[in-house]
Amino acid sequence: MKIYLDLLKVLLLSGFCVGYAGAQQKTVRIIQTNAAGDNVHIIDPTTNEVVEVILGMPIAHGVTSHPDGSRYYFSNEVEHTLDIVSSQTLTVIKQIPLSGRPNNIAITPDGQKIYVAIRDDLKPGVDIIDLTDNQVIKTIHMLGGVHNVFITPDGRHLAAGMIGAETLTVIDTETDEPLWSMHFDGGVRPMAFETNPDNSTKRIFVQISNFHGVYVVDFEQKALIEKLWMPELSISQTDNDALQGSPGHGLAVSPDGTQLWSTSKPNGHVYAWSLPDLNFLGGVAVGHHPDWLTMTPDGRYLYAANAGSNDVSVVDTQTMIEIATIPVGQVPKRNHTVVFP
């Protein structure tokens, strides 16, 4: 049986390499940070191999890229800076001082501004960086340390999630002023968005501390409307060590808006629901403690960063099979898909 499954993976991966390379008109890279290391791994999704490594990037937390692919951006938890890396030389070309310890980051679709979550409890907020001048132009003060920031697909809003304050605050990216907030019964972790036909935001999917599932928030109603539970496996099949209060810590909505994916640390799985009806589609066993997700632009392949096994799982979202495992650095977490024009 094992020989058959291994052969099936080889055949699927071979078809993936040919089909994906032929379908892609642009160069795509998967950027994988390592939360307990000082390097970043860059994966070519046509071969599922590490093709480049960025060195000298201690405890890189958040990662994003410029829309034109010329720059990578990393939040540096050691030096409290936003580090700008040339995608050509893979060297740090500038470090922008921040107001405190940074966590996740998000860039506007036009590449004009980056928002940085500032986790410091004494001065919590969101730093706004003007990428024309490469400097912080404003800090939006928050109720508590901000863990994650996400830009909505239309670029009009920023969602900032706080763990200690158990609050999600939505900010207008034109005025950079808070619009509304929601309080939850646990810390706010990763988020993902579903859009309306006009690309405005329809629903926010939110992972909450100590909840093994996903909260569904109606964006217009500003209200929790549903909860999605992940399967509960037997004790012999689960691992509850080092969960850090986040059994689910990675979300992704497919680019075509037809699937929602979530990680499950205790189960060592990724799970999917259909959109917009939220029917459970099933799960795929991946590595140890999957901790973050990103997808190829066509939505065919999902990349799960396995923080416990120091590798990245590649999942075929149509066949629901893990087709490759890619060794990376120590405790891989946040990852990001870059599309070069």
Please tell me the predicted confidence (pLDDT) of residue 121: 83
State CA 219 to chain mean position distance.
20
Measure the CA–CA gap between 290 and 335, rounded to whole angstroms: 12
For the structural domain made of 29-340, what CATH number should be given? 2.130.10.10
Indicate the domain borders of the chain. 29-340
- Is pLDDT at 21 greater than 70 in this prediction? no
Amino acid at 244: Q
- Is pLDDT at 3 greater than 80 in this prediction? no
Instruction: Please say whether the beta carbons of 149 and 115 come within 8 A.
Output: yes
Residue 100: exposure state from Cβ atoms within 10 A (0-12, 13-18, ≥19): buried
Q: Is the dihedral of CA 237, 243, 248, 252 positive or negative?
A: negative
Instruction: Please say whether the beta carbons of 278 and 262 come within 8 A.
Output: no
Instruction: For residue 266, give every residue at least 6 positions away whose Cβ sits within 8 Å of its Cβ, in sequence order, or none.
Output: 212, 233, 238, 239, 240, 243, 247
Q: Which helix (H) or strand (E) holds 55?
A: strand 49-55
Please tell me the predicted confidence (pLDDT) of residue 7: 44
Please tell me the predicted confidence (pLDDT) of residue 25: 67
Measure the CA–CA gap between 100 and 152, rounded to whole angstroms: 24
Please tell me the predicted confidence (pLDDT) of residue 22: 41
Average pLDDT estimate for 166-183: 98
Predicted confidence band of residue 242 (pLDDT cuts 50, 70, 90): low
- Is pLDDT at 19 greater than 70 in this prediction? no
Measure the CA–CA gap between 317 and 51, rounded to whole angstroms: 23
Please tell me the predicted confidence (pLDDT) of residue 321: 98
Instruction: For residue 97, give every residue at least 6 positions away whose Cβ sits within 8 Å of its Cβ, in sequence order, or none.
Output: 80, 81, 136
What are the pLDDT digits (tens) for 62-113? 999 999 999 999 999 999 999 999 999 999 999 999 999 999 999 999 999 9
Helix, strand and coil content of the chain, in percent to the nearest 5, comes to 5, 50, 40
Predicted confidence band of residue 243 (pLDDT cuts 50, 70, 90): confident
Average pLDDT estimate for 271-279: 98
**DSSP assignment, residue 22?**
H
Predicted confidence band of residue 17 (pLDDT cuts 50, 70, 90): very low
- Is pLDDT at 9 greater than 60 in this prediction? no
What are the pLDDT digits (tens) for 253-263? 999 999 999 99
- Is pLDDT at 11 greater than 60 in this prediction? no
Please tell me the predicted confidence (pLDDT) of residue 186: 97
What are the pLDDT digits (tens) for 306-335? 999 999 999 999 999 999 999 999 999 999
Please name the residue that has the structure tokens 């679709």.
109
